[in-house]
Structure 1
Amino acid sequence: MTRDDPYRRARHLAELGRHADAEAELRAALAAEPGDADLLTLLGYVLRRHHDYEAALEACDAAIAADARLADAHAERAESLMALIRDADAIAAAGEAARLAPYEPAGHLVLARALASAGRHDEARTAARHGLSLAPQSVDALLTVAGVERGAGRRKEAEQAARQALAIDPASPYGRWLMAMLDAERLHVGRSMRALHDVARDDPARPDVISMTWPVRSLLSALRRWLAAAVLLVAAAAPAATWWRPAAGASRVLAALFAAVVAGFGLRVLLPAGRLPWRCLRLVPRRLRRATLGGTATVAVMVALLTAYAMTGLWWLPILALAAVPALVALGAAERAGARPEGRR
């Protein structure tokens, strides 16, 4: 479909990352043609990239009201719904896009992302592979496959698809971001942070500061999974040491061992990362920043209490550490809620 000049100009501005200028161009065009579904869909895209998800959804709803058979409008609506964490609605919208344009890859790819966002990984992989079959050399299709495979825990397949995409478009920000995050999951800390820094340098208008805090946040996530159990074990053994002498030495050794493991793992992750995660932490949303710093402080206090117990044998010290577990869990929930990624698309 051939578009007039305002649409082409707005799309070009959006591709350059000049979202405010693109929005102004679109709103001027829509003043003359308020029911143009293509202009409204593009406005939804621009607003979403500007993180105004509610307004983006309204634009997509208006586009669908103007032309309910426009597959692109349903697909863009699904993207906004995913950003708003309305996964069931996003799946329905993406499914409609795929139904309206079954031989176009875009609907199947957004459906794959919506299914993956909802944790329906097998269905997401099927949809992504189908989209790729319709456009085998599409960078977007390859990167969707890579993202879905990564979400399903299939890192080898994710890396293979991401590398194929980067062979076609070596400058792809999302492809480079995906490779950096795959390196992060393998604890290739330095390489991951360098790649994320390079992506941010090449796209200074949209730095992914949340991703660059992954060393701190991943460390906390790993510790939450087992530190509570470790503290519970020591806290259970410590009172027993007051009436059963053999338990005293064992519980103190356990406390020292757990504290040493936390310290060693922390150094393993944080030293290669350098100062960059901490600098980026100042730039993330306040809720995420407070939860991450609170979790870091809570872990530090728990480790200090375990270390003090290992040195002194005072049985109530691990009990205090155990009392901090609910705070650690609550801060983890707050951190996850504040860090839901919009993605690099």
Structure 2
Amino acid sequence: MTAASRARLLAGVGRFRDAEEAVRSGLIELPSDPELLALLAGLLRLQGRGPDALDAADAAVSAAPHLAGTHIERAECLLLSERPAEALAEAEEAVRLDPAHPPAHRVLARTLVSHRDFGRARDAARRALALDPESVPDLLTLAEIERHAGRRDAARDAVRQALARDPENADGRWMIALLDAERLRVGSAMRGLRGLAADHPAQLGGVAMTWPIRGLLSGMRRGLLVGLLLAGSLALSALAWPSALLLARAAAATVAAVMIFFSVRVLIPAGRLPWRCLGLLPPRTRRAVACGLVAASATVTLLLWYAVSTHSPAMVLCAGAVGVLLAAGRAERS
């Protein structure tokens, strides 16, 4: 068995570190082998080691610039490094070199999504499917395009076609859970993720189970910021037009009620599992989430206080709580 074959077998069961070692052993004998270099780049990319992956991909392209596969891998690494313009150039070069190779069209579709060119991305994915109609990765790529384009029904249809071909495909099951989550079908999404975590523990750990809490905070950051700006503007207008005070109170009460309803709508179907899994987050992220929860709760309470009492200090304190909430969100993402 070759080093490349052994590495692919190991990667197929999620043993990326062992696969990397197998590739590096092969590179000792064949240091300029483009297949091994591209495979190494892919393994490093899957481990989230972007700069190292791009270095390996650069070496693969230098060793075999005439092979579409090296450009495909470099395009993927450039996408991970958030360099979409360069990624698009590499993907287009891969298609030029081998227009009958479905993965070349697939990576082109993915790079076009990063440019929000959904029409051309859809065409590229369908070209890949025309070349290989049974391809599960190409169907899932089409589903991802449709999801980003806001066409969730079309995305779900593509995923279902993929799962009809490979019912246990982890990426397809993840996509279904993601689509359920985006439509606030929280219970269904959590059931899907539980099953996925049980079947593929190496690919989906408990951290993913915290998405109801983290997703709720993301939505509350946007909603409370907009609500604060609206209620605050009306409160300031009341200095000149006293009748605007009633509108400011109504706006504060409405925003608070919507946020409470949103929280109940997400957290009750999610159950206790997301809260149990918070302890699996990295310490910095866990602290940011905890801080965000406190700040969001304080903001809603202060909005209700203002709606009932119209005390101006409540609005000032509310602005401070929203500032903490936004800062916690930045810390969580960093």
Q: Is TM more than 0.5 here?
A: yes
Superposed CA deviations along residues 25-75 of structure 1, whole A, max 9, x for unmatched, are 211111111111111111112222222222222111111111111211111
Asked whether the equivalents of residues 61 and 74 of structure 2 are also in contact (C-alpha less than 8 Å), the reply is no
Partners of 2:300 and 2:64 lie apart in 1 by 60
CA pair 241-20 structure 1, distance change in 2 beyond 3 A: closer
- How do 1:57-136 residues align onto structure 2 when only pairs under 5 Å count? 57-136=54-133
Of 279-288 and 153-162, more deviation after overlay is shown by 279-288
The offset of 1:252, in angstroms, is 3.5
Superposed CA deviations along residues 215-240 of structure 1, whole A, max 9, x for unmatched, are 22332333333322322333344466
| Match in the other structure for 2:13 | 16
Tell me the amino acid that sits aligned with residue 317 of structure 2: L
Asked whether the equivalents of residues 296 and 322 of structure 2 are also in contact (C-alpha less than 8 Å), the reply is no
Partners of 1:290 and 1:127 lie apart in 2 by 42
Match of 2:273 among 259, 268, 276: 276
Asked whether 1:317 is paired with 2:314, we answer: yes
Partners of 1:201 and 1:229 lie apart in 2 by 39
Asked whether the equivalents of residues 259 and 303 of structure 1 are also in contact (C-alpha less than 8 Å), the reply is yes
Match of 1:35 among 27, 32, 35: 32
The alignment partner of 2:201 has SS state of coil
How does the TM-score come out when normalised to structure 1?
A: 0.87
The offset of 1:248, in angstroms, is 5.2
Partners of 2:330 and 2:93 lie apart in 1 by 33
Asked whether the equivalents of residues 176 and 195 of structure 1 are also in contact (C-alpha less than 8 Å), the reply is yes
CA pair 22-135 structure 1, distance change in 2 beyond 3 A: same
The offset of 1:244, in angstroms, is 7.1
Tell me the amino acid that sits aligned with residue 70 of structure 1: L
The alignment partner of 1:233 has SS state of helix
Asked whether 1:198 is paired with 2:195, we answer: yes
Partners of 1:258 and 1:126 lie apart in 2 by 42
Partners of 1:5 and 1:303 lie apart in 2 by 61
Asked whether the equivalents of residues 41 and 56 of structure 2 are also in contact (C-alpha less than 8 Å), the reply is yes
CA pair 24-240 structure 1, distance change in 2 beyond 3 A: closer
Asked whether the equivalents of residues 223 and 259 of structure 2 are also in contact (C-alpha less than 8 Å), the reply is no
Tell me the amino acid that sits aligned with residue 209 of structure 2: M
Partners of 1:279 and 1:78 lie apart in 2 by 38
Asked whether 1:296 is paired with 2:293, we answer: yes
| Match in the other structure for 1:150 | 147
CA pair 125-294 structure 1, distance change in 2 beyond 3 A: farther
Partners of 1:131 and 1:285 lie apart in 2 by 39
- Say what the alpha-carbon RMSD is for the aligned residues: 2.5
Of 112-121 and 229-238, more deviation after overlay is shown by 229-238
The offset of 1:203, in angstroms, is 1.5
The alignment partner of 1:176 has SS state of helix
Superposed CA deviations along residues 188-226 of structure 1, whole A, max 9, x for unmatched, are 001101111211221112225564333223323333333
Of 313-322 and 289-298, more deviation after overlay is shown by 289-298
The offset of 1:144, in angstroms, is 0.5
Q: Please, which runs of 5 or more residues in structure 1 have no aligned partner?
A: 339-345
How does the TM-score come out when normalised to structure 2?
A: 0.90
Partners of 1:315 and 1:63 lie apart in 2 by 63
Asked whether the equivalents of residues 239 and 315 of structure 1 are also in contact (C-alpha less than 8 Å), the reply is no
Match of 1:165 among 141, 162, 166: 162
The alignment partner of 1:10 has SS state of helix
Partners of 1:271 and 1:207 lie apart in 2 by 23
Tell me the amino acid that sits aligned with residue 135 of structure 2: S
Asked whether the equivalents of residues 189 and 272 of structure 1 are also in contact (C-alpha less than 8 Å), the reply is yes
Q: Please, which runs of 5 or more residues in structure 2 have no aligned partner?
A: none
CA pair 208-128 structure 1, distance change in 2 beyond 3 A: farther
Partners of 1:66 and 1:329 lie apart in 2 by 47
The offset of 1:326, in angstroms, is 4.2
| Match in the other structure for 2:172 | 175
CA pair 117-200 structure 1, distance change in 2 beyond 3 A: farther
Asked whether the equivalents of residues 87 and 118 of structure 1 are also in contact (C-alpha less than 8 Å), the reply is yes
- How do 1:212-251 residues align onto structure 2 when only pairs under 5 Å count? 212-238=209-235, 250-251=247-248
Superposed CA deviations along residues 258-280 of structure 1, whole A, max 9, x for unmatched, are 22221111011111112333344
Partners of 2:162 and 2:189 lie apart in 1 by 18
Partners of 2:91 and 2:117 lie apart in 1 by 14
CA pair 63-250 structure 1, distance change in 2 beyond 3 A: closer
Superposed CA deviations along residues 113-160 of structure 1, whole A, max 9, x for unmatched, are 122133332222221122112111110110110011111111111011
Asked whether 1:56 is paired with 2:53, we answer: yes
Count of residues in Structure 1 that have an aligned counterpart in Structure 2 = 334
Of 112-121 and 283-292, more deviation after overlay is shown by 283-292
Q: What is the percentage of aligned positions where both structures have the same residue? A: 47
